[in-house]
Amino acid sequence: MHVEDRGYQFSDGVYEVCEIHQGRLVDETRHLDRLERSLRELKIRMPMDRKALSHVLREVVRRNRVRHGLVYMQVTRGVSRRDHPFPSPEVQPALVVTAKSIDPAKGVKMAEKGIAVTTAPDNRWERVDIKTVGLLPNVLARQDAQEKGAQEAWLVDADGNVTEGSSTNAWIIKDGALITRHADRGILRGITRTVVVEVLAAEGLRLEERPFSVEEAKKADEAFVTSATKIVMPVVSIDGQAIGGGRPGPLVKRLRGAFRRHSELAAA
C-alpha cells in the first residue's frame, strides 16, 4: 500500500467481506450490489467493471485454494498527495482483494456454545449504512467486549436502543417474533440480515423490524447476530445476563440450518 493512499490517510474507502462455502462465493451478487452502492454514496468509481471484479474474486479464491473462508475486497479513492478534497484530476481507485481459509469446525463449535455480548455507546457517524473502512468506534467497542470476556459488542443509541453489533446485525426473539432494527442510515444493511428476512418468510416466522432496547433484549427468549463471517450465531448472554437459560435456543438453531438452504452460491 502506498503511504498516500487515501484509505490509509482518511479512511476514504469501502470494503466488502464475502463468505466462501465449498469453494464458492456466497451471495456474491448482493455483495457487489452493496459495494457499488457504497462507492456511489462516496462518489468513488468502480476500480474495474463488475464482470472483471467478479473474475478477480474467483481467481484470488482459486489461487489461494480456499474451500471455506472469507474473501475481503477494499476499494479506496486512490493515491494522491495528502489534501482533504478529492484528487483533481481524478485518480484510479485502489483495489485490494485477499482470501483466507477458516476451519468450518470453528464456527460450528462457536454456534453450539453461543457467544456473549456486551453493550457500548454507538458513537459512530450518521452514515453507517455505507460500508466504509472507517471502523475505529467498532474496533474500540469490540476491544472493550473482548476485555470483558465477550465475543461481540452491541452498540446502543442515545435512546437506549440497540442499533447493531460492531461487525454484525443484532436480533432478539420474543414470543415467536423475530425482532431486528429497521434498516435505515442507522445500521449497515447486512447481506446475511436480508437473507435471514427471506428465510423467515419462507419458514412462516413473524418479523418485526423496529428498535429494541437493551432492557427488552435482556428479557428476550433468544438472541443472535448475523454476518457473512458468523452467519447466524446464537447470543447466550448480554452484559453478563443469561438469555434463554444461557444456551442457544431452538429458533436460532433452526434459522442457522435454514440459512444455508436459502443463501445463494455463486456459480463456480
| Nearest by Cα to 188 from 258, 129, 237 | 129
Q: From residue 104, how far is each of 47, 166, 223, 231 by CA, in Å?
A: 32, 22, 22, 12
Question: What is the 3-state composition of the chain as percent helix, strand, coil, each rounded to the nearest 5?
Answer: 35, 30, 35
Q: Is residue 167 a contact point for ligand PLP (CB under 6 A)? A: yes
Residue 153 C-beta: closest distance to ligand PLP, Å: 10
Residue 268 C-beta: closest distance to ligand PLP, Å: 22
The one segment of 38-46, 164-172, 237-245, 256-264 that binds ligand PLP by CB under 6 A: 164-172
Q: With respect to ligand PLP, which residue has the nearer C-beta, 91 or 130?
A: 130
115-121 and 152-156 strand pairing: parallel
Q: Which residue is nearest to ligand PLP (CB)?
A: 190
Which of 228, 232, 233, 238 touches ligand PLP by CB under 6 A?
A: 228
Q: Is residue 151 a contact point for ligand PLP (CB under 6 A)? A: no
Distance CA 132, CA 123 (A): 15
Half-sphere exposure of 56 (CA within 13 A, CB side): 15
Which of 8, 11, 17, 110 touches ligand PLP by CB under 6 A?
A: 17
Which of 191, 199, 217, 223 touches ligand PLP by CB under 6 A?
A: 191
Which of 6, 77, 193, 256 touches ligand PLP by CB under 6 A?
A: 193
State yes or no: cis peptide before 211, omega within 30 of 0: no
- Total chain residues near ligand PLP (CB under 6 A): 13
Write down the catalytic residue from 131, 174, 219, 230: 131
Q: Is residue 168 a contact point for ligand PLP (CB under 6 A)? A: yes
Catalytic residue list contains 113: no
Residue pair 118/255 in contact by the 8 Å Cβ criterion: no
Q: Is residue 226 a contact point for ligand PLP (CB under 6 A)? A: yes
| Nearest by Cα to 218 from 230, 235, 203, 205 | 235
Q: With respect to ligand PLP, which residue has the nearer C-beta, 77 or 193?
A: 193
Half-sphere exposure of 65 (CA within 13 A, CB side): 0
Residues that bind ligand PLP (CB under 6 A): 17, 164, 167-169, 188, 190-193, 226-228
